[in-house]
Structure 1
Amino acid sequence: MRPGTLDTSERPFVLIWELTQACGLACDHCRADAKPQRHPDELSTAEGKELLEGAAEFGDGQLVVLSGGDPLVRDDVAELIAHGDDLGLRMTITPSGTGSLTADRIEEMADAGLKRMAVSLDGASPEAHDAFRGEDGSFEETIRAVEDAREVGVPVQVNTTVCRQTVSELPEIRELLTEIGAVMWSVFFLVPIGRGRVLEPIAPERADAVMEWLAEVSDEEPFGVKTTEAPQYRRVAMQRQQRQADADADTDDGDGTPTAGIKRRTGIVAGDGFGFVSHTGEVFPSGFLPESAGNVRDRPVTELYRDSELFQSLRDRDGLSGKCGACRYRNVCGGSRSRAFAHTGDPLASDPLCPYVPEGYDGPLPWDDADSETRGVSSGD
């Protein structure tokens, strides 16, 4: 492990706690298939505080994301943020763009110690965004919430879902992010679970092209860019650097694995740098990979993340199968384990969104030519 990097076998970069699955929206992509009513077996306030105390055992500054559903359906959010902040956790939240996200709630969370708020924009206009979110007025509520957050000094991240219905909106969303002063753009490449099963993913070749464009955006805009469930972005960025013949790039770390100046050696994938606690306390590698390692009501979250067989298997990049297992980029990418699971039932299988075919690989490919526009790209850099 390089100096300054995080040992993802010991702690995640990101720990998400799904406070509730209740939400007033009916978003087309919803992982949770959210419903208006709260589940009677949600973690209570006291249990939630115990979870946060367990998360603090990962180490100082652990990032915790409060998500949903709509987390603001609960009335204890500010109390939980304050408790986490007192524990030294970096508390953030991903609320829904509904009337629950009032200026008063945002100010209350800011006073409690909220470090960042993430909102979703899946279209650059009210018509496009509201159609995707399933509720008129969601776009205006979201923009108003961004302004309210900036007013009280809370940085705002924007999350965007990429699928065939939204991909054409990306350039205009980029411009909108600059206008509203976002600090980060998190671009989520669709995983077909929950209501997201009815949406169409983009073809793998187009996914690579979008990621190439995102790398350019990252260079040109003041906000940061990251991808969710698309670790191949790291491969694409590395190949782009190599093509540009970056004189400062370190293209070999001694074991034949390309690094090309990437800050972390390993990319975040489900179970390896990423953990998810459901509304009922089940610990998943990701909210998009619904295989439980156990429940925080029975075992500490640190133990489940570090020691469970499921999480340990996901951290073993040499255990991947198919072309992901043969890929020279597996230690910096690793493929979306969630998407592999959604398509095959095996979290160690190849990610069907990635078109890259390793040199010399002649095994099965994860896409179905009858249903995909994909053709494998060259293994050359």
Structure 2
Amino acid sequence: MNPREIDTTQRPFVLIWELTQACELACKHCRADAQSRRHPDELTTSEGKQFLDEVRRFDNGQLVVLSGGDPLARNDATELIDYGTDIGLRMTLTPSGTTSLTPERIQGLTDAGLRRMALSIDGGTAVTHDDFRQEQGSFEQTMRAARATQAADLPLQINTTVCAETVDELPAIRDLVADLGAVLWSVFFLVPVGRGRVLDPIAPERAERVMKWLYDVAHSAPFGVKTTEAPHYRRVTIEQGRGIDSPKRPSPDGIGRRMGITAGNGFAFVSHLGDVYPSGFLPQPAGNVLNESIVDIYRGSDLFRSLRDPDALRGKCGVCEYRYVCGGSRSRAFAYTRDPLESDPLCAYVPGEYNGPLPKQSFTPDEASSAD
């Protein structure tokens, strides 16, 4: 399957299912505001399999990411991966770097058909990573899990959060990504939801410099680079002169990459309770999979349809000549303005024909709390 041939009005390229919000860690940036215990109303194993059956209606080979919290806090994660694989889905996993991620469990996940493992590294050393994750030993546990993933011949992805606290760590993290033999570095630019509301984002001008640096990394490193919640990276690559397609070799796990993905447009998120959101960072529900098919919600809900219309955007995003390849982070716009169609305040670019107000990366504590 060629990712570029996917019609994102009909199916997401990436569908994330938050299996649980339970997790041993209390990371500073956690979107889920993870808890120590599982919620009693999580989708059951049976309900989860019925949900995966509906996901299969999108088409053969639909990409499903099992997330959390820590998805391995559920003892049926391997069973769900095995089931999804059997019905033709491409199952991937984003577990927490905890003691639960043993070599034996990783091998079991691989045997069940897992296509890729994504681990998070947010500091170039044990000190900086563990401080961000607020768990002594998390860095070493993540390193052990990464090595076990390599030993299982399972493709490894590294996820990193970019905020004021981590931005200076990026060069050291880049070196770790290379040393670990990862196939992809996914660089996530902070959206202030969950615990992440207490973190400081980087300024738009700094974000622009980081993206230009990532562009250089993408064309020199032995791994692929993608940004999350920073679609204006596509504008940066265009302005740098090589277009939006990175000249990387195909992904060895067959998952591939797809440009032009934003919340609700090629991307969907299902919570542990079955609520469907355009993104986990855009907590505005469009339905629930216990009452309605995920296919119908994705294709037909007013919220998802509006997010797939670049001409519906407001502010400078609405007149930007890059809106068809970028469109800005709808999640960040929602976090700061409560309107997912407003302009993305992290983008430093101002279209030449725009003379209106510029978005701001600020909100009051009361406004922030309303994101719950």
What TM-score range do you get, normalising by the shorter chain? over 0.9
Match of 1:279 in 2: 272
Contact 1:238 1:262 in 2 (8 A): no
Q: 1:230-379 alignment to 2 at 5 Å?
A: 230-241=230-241, 267-367=260-360
Match of 1:256 in 2: none
Match of 2:254 in 1: none
CA separation of 1:316 and 1:266: change in aligned 2, threshold 3 A:
farther
Where in structure 1 do 4 or more consecutive aligned residues deviate above 4 Å? Answer: 260-266, 368-371
Distance 1:111 1:265 in 2: 27
Distance 2:217 2:262 in 1: 23
Contact 1:266 1:333 in 2 (8 A): no
> Structure 1-normalised TM-score?
0.90
Superposed displacement of residue 367, structure 1: 1.9
Equivalent AA in structure 2 for residue 125 of structure 1: T
CA separation of 1:3 and 1:111: change in aligned 2, threshold 3 A:
closer
Distance 1:105 1:4 in 2: 33
Q: 1:221-232 alignment to 2 at 5 Å?
A: 221-232=221-232
Distance 1:261 1:100 in 2: 37
Distance 1:60 1:266 in 2: 20
Q: How many correspondences in the alignment? A: 354
CA separation of 1:24 and 1:368: change in aligned 2, threshold 3 A:
closer
Per the alignment, in what secondary structure is the counterpart of residue 220 of structure 1?
coil
Q: Deviations over 1:63-108 (max 9, x none)?
A: 1000000000000011000000011111000000011111111111
Identity, % of aligned positions: 62
Equivalent AA in structure 2 for residue 113 of structure 1: G
Q: Deviations over 1:265-310 (max 9, x none)?
A: 9611100010000000000000000000100000010110000000
Distance 1:214 1:182 in 2: 16
Superposed displacement of residue 60, structure 1: 1.2
Match of 1:189 in 2: 189
Match of 2:159 in 1: 159
Which one is further off, 319-328 or 260-269?
260-269
Equivalent AA in structure 2 for residue 17 of structure 1: W
Q: Deviations over 1:130-161 (max 9, x none)?
A: 00001000000000001111111111100000
RMSD: 1.8
Distance 1:340 1:18 in 2: 22
Which one is further off, 262-271 or 205-214?
262-271
CA separation of 1:4 and 1:231: change in aligned 2, threshold 3 A:
closer
Distance 1:332 1:167 in 2: 25
Contact 2:346 2:361 in 1 (8 A): no
Q: Are 1:112 and 2:112 an aligned pair?
A: yes
> Structure 2-normalised TM-score?
0.92
Distance 1:210 1:85 in 2: 37
Q: 1:83-232 alignment to 2 at 5 Å?
A: 83-232=83-232
Contact 1:235 1:329 in 2 (8 A): yes
CA separation of 1:103 and 1:92: change in aligned 2, threshold 3 A:
same
Superposed displacement of residue 5, structure 1: 2.3
The gaps in structure 2 that reach 5 residues or longer are 248-256, 365-372
The gaps in structure 1 that reach 5 residues or longer are 250-259, 372-381
Per the alignment, in what secondary structure is the counterpart of residue 100 of structure 1?
coil
Q: Are 1:45 and 2:45 an aligned pair?
A: yes
